């Protein structure tokens, strides 16, 4: 035990013999606590993102009690601090607009209350990075408890994966290949339990990345939400954070260039969501690390996709769990990881994967038998994306990895939606669909609009992929030849703003190029004629977002939240 009780952060609130501490203690007694509950004990804040409208976290009402049980078993005093829920399926225009909101709430909640350590309860897409971003900035002992994936879906004996099969069967419905009754049955069978998407979407990606970076118990990210092992993991997490407080083990001791690289290696090997790039950038920069977009591409070039999970592969997270989960996958990646990185367990990442084995070699492949020979993502540059754009080649039709075609441009999502089902739309399978004004400022908030729907007339002809380009994001459960996160975005005058229908667009993924093939002088004329539009949100949090959010290649964090001079400790008067 490195710390003494009087050295605890909470001691300034609860342990001093003065008027202020009298008030704090009397209010705890008011709630029915006894002095024995908190005297001389680490106070553990449990940041819980449960709500009635977040199906990914529907089990968190139970799990928070299990975390508390572990805290009490280890001699701590647990307090639950509800935090913004960020429910991916419901919150509009996008949870990405509010990721930084939750990050601020987490940081300020940790700073301003008498907590010595925190358990972060998250999983639904943006909750994981947001909570960790705030905790990194606050830098008190922190452990992450992942929500875990839901059970796999089922329809007439066919396995369904959330998101991925939604898009697939929606196109089959649009093509007239399934009935309205079929569609209703799929709706009722695609999400069969609480927990996050069971494909390798953003939720599964970020839970895996956060474990690889060292912030969970060993193997925690792969446990199914409905498995009894998940409840036991929650209690173990509660026990562990108490020991972390006594040992003063903080995020600043865990997060490093090497641990972040471990997260990126895993991100590539699992065929992770393109959204993960934005979130990893933001988390690293909270710690003052100099991560940039080209580093993802360098790592991608040497890390193959070995998790055979949709949308890049065949299986689902339930299969991944039974095959050995993330520990088994990291054991396959052993030679590519920095194994001496410290984790929240007080042990190294290498010790976590010692003895881990793969139980199904088709679900978790070896390095010499990958699903895809290079990593999941590619970073493209060119006159359309001078600050970069990203793509997931492993989930695209290979013919679009090198392609030139005429642009079909939509100035907004509403314009695209109104046109895409028009049987008279002038479009061929070789066209390049372009959506503008869907970035951080343009949407606002950079929604998941990047998997533009295939025009209905082409869907009926059997077309299931096209080259699509936007400054939006796309769901990690999505697939197809979608170029995303084009930076700078169109709304602030990035090159994408100047593309017109009929312009030829060229992509060469091997060469990492994305260009519009027009005369430089003509491009300059269009650029000079651009008139910047006003901010989409003029008041409240939205106005703050518009003034301070960075572009996708910088992580979409607020400029005043990146690492800098740490805030002083709260003074108790």
- Spell out the domain ranges in the chain: 1-40, 41-151+193-353, 154-189, 378-529
DSSP calls for 228-292: HHHHHHHHHHHHHHHHHHHHT--HHHH--HHHHHHHHHHHHHTT--THHHHHHHHHHHHTT----
Length of the chain: 573
Other Cβ atoms closer than 10 A to 219 = 20
Please report the pLDDT score of residue 573 as a whole number.
62
Please report the pLDDT score of residue 275 as a whole number.
97
Stated as kind and residue range, the H or E segment containing 108 is: helix 99-112
**Phi/psi zone of residue 561: left (φ > 0), alpha (ψ -120 to 50 degrees), beta?**
alpha
Please report the pLDDT score of residue 443 as a whole number.
94
Q: Identify the CATH class of 378-529.
A: alpha beta
Partner residues linked to 121 by β-bridges: 48, 145
Please report the pLDDT score of residue 265 as a whole number.
98
DSSP calls for 517-529: ---HHHHHHHHHH
Q: Token pair of 493, please?
A: 């005058």
Please report the pLDDT score of residue 520 as a whole number.
92
Look-up: residue for tokens 């290649």? 553
Cα–Cα nearest to 196, from 113, 279, 127: 127
DSSP calls for 158-197: EEE-TTHHHHHHHHHHHTTSS-HHHHHHHHHHS--SSSB-
Per-residue pLDDT of the chain (573 residues; tens, 9 = 90+): 689 999 999 999 999 999 999 999 999 999 999 999 999 999 999 999 999 999 999 999 999 999 999 999 999 999 999 999 999 999 999 999 999 999 999 999 999 999 999 999 999 999 999 999 999 999 999 999 999 999 999 999 999 999 999 999 999 999 999 999 999 999 999 999 999 999 999 999 999 999 999 999 999 999 999 999 999 999 999 999 999 999 999 999 999 999 999 999 999 999 999 999 999 999 999 999 999 999 999 999 999 999 999 999 999 999 999 999 999 999 999 999 999 999 999 999 999 999 999 999 999 999 999 999 987 899 999 999 999 999 999 889 999 999 999 999 999 999 999 999 999 999 999 999 999 999 999 999 999 999 999 999 999 999 999 999 999 999 999 999 999 999 999 999 999 999 999 999 999 999 999 999 999 999 999 999 999 899 888 899 999 999 999 999 999 999 999 887 666 676 766
Rounded to a whole number of angstroms, the distance between the first and last alpha carbons of the chain is: 29
Stated as kind and residue range, the H or E segment containing 414 is: helix 413-419
């Amino acid at each position: 035990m490195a710390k003494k009780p009087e050295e605890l952060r909470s001691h300034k609130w609860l342990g001093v013999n003065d008027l202020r501490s009298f008030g704090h203690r009397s209010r705890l007694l008011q709630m029915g606590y006894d002095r024995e509950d908190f005297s001389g004990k680490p106070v553990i804040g449990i940041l819980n993102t449960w709500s009635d409208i977040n199906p990914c976290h529907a089990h968190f009402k139970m799990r928070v009690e299990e975390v508390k049980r572990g805290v009490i078993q280890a001699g701590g005093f647990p307090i639950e601090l509800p935090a913004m829920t960020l429910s991916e399926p419901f919150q509009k225009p996008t949870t990405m607009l509010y990721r930084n909101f939750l990050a601020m709430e987490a940081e300020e909640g940790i700073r301003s209350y008498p907590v010595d350590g925190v358990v972060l309860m998250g999983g639904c897409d943006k909750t994981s990075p947001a909570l960790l971003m705030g905790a990194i900035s606050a830098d008190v002992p922190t452990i992450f408890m992942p929500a875990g994936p839901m059970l796999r879906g089922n329809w007439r004996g066919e396995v369904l994966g959330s998101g991925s099969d939604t898009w697939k069967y929606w196109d089959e419905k649009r093509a007239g290949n399934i009935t309205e009754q079929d569609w209703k049955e799929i709706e009722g069978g695609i999400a069969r339990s609480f927990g996050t998407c069971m494909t390798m979407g953003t939720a599964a990606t970020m839970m895996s990345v956060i474990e690889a970076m060292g912030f969970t118990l060993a193997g925690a990210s792969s446990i199914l939400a409905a498995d009894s092992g998940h409840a036991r993991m929650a209690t173990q997490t509660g026990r562990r954070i108490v020991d972390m407080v006594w040992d003063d083990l903080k995020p600043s001791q865990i997060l490093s260039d090497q641990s972040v690289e471990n997260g990126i290696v895993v991100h590539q090997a699992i065929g992770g969501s393109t959204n993960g790039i934005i979130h990893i950038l933001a988390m690293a920069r909270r710690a003052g690390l100099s991560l940039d977009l080209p580093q993802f591409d360098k790592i991608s070039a040497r890390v193959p996709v070995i998790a055979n999970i949709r949308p890049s592969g065949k299986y689902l997270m339930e299969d991944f769990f039974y095959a050995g989960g993330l520990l088994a996958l990291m054991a396959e990646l052993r030679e590519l990881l920095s194994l001496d990185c410290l984790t929240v367990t007080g042990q190294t990442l290498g010790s976590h994967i010692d003895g881990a084995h793969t139980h199904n070699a088709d679900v978790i492949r070896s390095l010499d038998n990958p699903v895809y020979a290079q990593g999941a993502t590619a970073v493209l540059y060119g006159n359309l994306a001078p600050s970069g754009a990203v793509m997931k080649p492993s989930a695209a039709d290979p013919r679009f990895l090198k392609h030139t075609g005429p642009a079909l441009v939509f100035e907004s999502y509403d314009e695209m939606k109104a046109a895409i089902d028009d049987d008279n739309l002038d479009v061929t399978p070789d066209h390049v669909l372009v959506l503008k004004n869907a970035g951080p400022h343009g949407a606002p908030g950079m929604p998941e609009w990047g998997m533009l729907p295939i025009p209905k007339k082409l869907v009926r002809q059997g077309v299931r992929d096209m080259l699509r380009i936007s400054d939006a994001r796309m769901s990690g459960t999505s697939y197809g030849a979608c170029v995303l996160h084009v930076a700078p975005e169109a709304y602030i005058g990035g090159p994408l703003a100047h593309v017109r229908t009929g312009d030829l667009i060229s992509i060469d993924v091997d060469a990492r190029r994305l260009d519009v093939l027009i005369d430089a002088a003509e491009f300059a004329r269009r650029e000079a004629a651009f008139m910047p539009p006003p901010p989409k949100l003029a008041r409240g949090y939205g106005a703050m977002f518009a003034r301070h959010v960075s572009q996708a290649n910088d992580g979409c964090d607020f400029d005043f939240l990146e690492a800098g001079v740490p805030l002083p400790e709260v003074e108790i008067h």
